Amino acid sequence: MKCNLLLLTSALLLAACNNQTPRTGDGTATTDTTVNNNIDSNIPIDTLHLGNKTLLVYTVSKALFDQYPSSSTDTTENVLLAKDSLLLKRNADTLLFSLTNGQTMSMVNKVNQDDEDYAGYTYAGYFPAIHRLGVIATYYESGDYLLVNPANGDTLHTWGAPVVSPDKKYLLCTSMDLAAGFVPNGFQLFSYENDQVKMIGEIEINNWGPGEVKWMDSNTLLATYIFLDNDMNPGTKYVKIVLQ
């Protein structure tokens, strides 16, 4: 089980239909929409409310999606640790963060995978636009993503790795779990100002999940729209997400 969970969490955090009604960041229910097969639609196929912001979802072509480069630069932990050796290092099962306030912070793996206290921490890279270190965290039957402030160790738990808007005002974090229900399936939106990351809102959705996400401009994103057909086989569409 743990091996499967590790694979699921790693893919998900760098990226079940659970039977809950999706909620906005302020707890207000939103309405699911059916999948629209049209390409480059001018009519939203979904409307997601996250706090005081709205995400309008439109279908687009794969050609448009492919015009914009991926923001991810996946690599192994050893390579990332070597690159950022002044900020942190690994000592066996422990990540040691050398904070600029002179203190050291640690994250210690609890390696018994059959123990409900199990926790594993993997360094995932530095985000210079928001001055944060990323860590993938895997727990007994769940996982999340940690954003660590290298100045003081303040740590924010998110659903996935942040995708930062070109103007550096917003972070979108996504998580996808359409089958197992180990982790949320949906979006979190944060603001970034004066080196502070603040939650705007979050929403879990039922009938699809966000795969790769990338910004077109400071108010528009592109994403893969992952869904399950009646036989539980995965399918992919491409969408534009407009932030209002």
Cα–Cα distance, 46 to 31 (Å, whole number): 8
**Residue 160: DSSP 8-state:** S
Q: Please list the ranges in the chain whose pLDDT falls under 70.
A: 1-40, 72-74, 113-114
Long-range CB contact pairs, 151-156, < 8 A, 24+:
151/99, 151/100, 151/101, 151/195, 152/99, 152/100, 152/101, 152/103, 153/97, 153/99, 153/101, 153/103, 153/105, 156/132, 156/197
CA atoms within a 13 Å half-sphere pointing along the CA-CB vector of 44: 14
- Determine the pLDDT at residue 232: 87
Contact criterion met (CB below 8 Å) for 190 and 207: no
Report residue 101 as tokens.
Answer: 């306030």
- pTM for this entry: 0.81
| Phi-psi domain of 30 (left: phi exceeds 0; alpha: psi -120 through 50; beta: other) | beta
Q: What are phi and psi of 9, to 5 degrees?
A: -70, -40
- Domain ranges in the chain? 2-15+22-243
Pairing verdict, β 234-243 and 53-60: antiparallel
- Determine the pLDDT at residue 39: 64
Reported as a single tens digit per residue, the pLDDT across 85-126 is 999 999 999 999 999 999 999 999 997 766 778 899 999 999
Q: How many helices (H) and strands (E) does the chain have?
A: 3, 16
For residue 144, give the amino acid letter. Answer: D
Contact criterion met (CB below 8 Å) for 144 and 5: no
- Determine the pLDDT at residue 40: 66
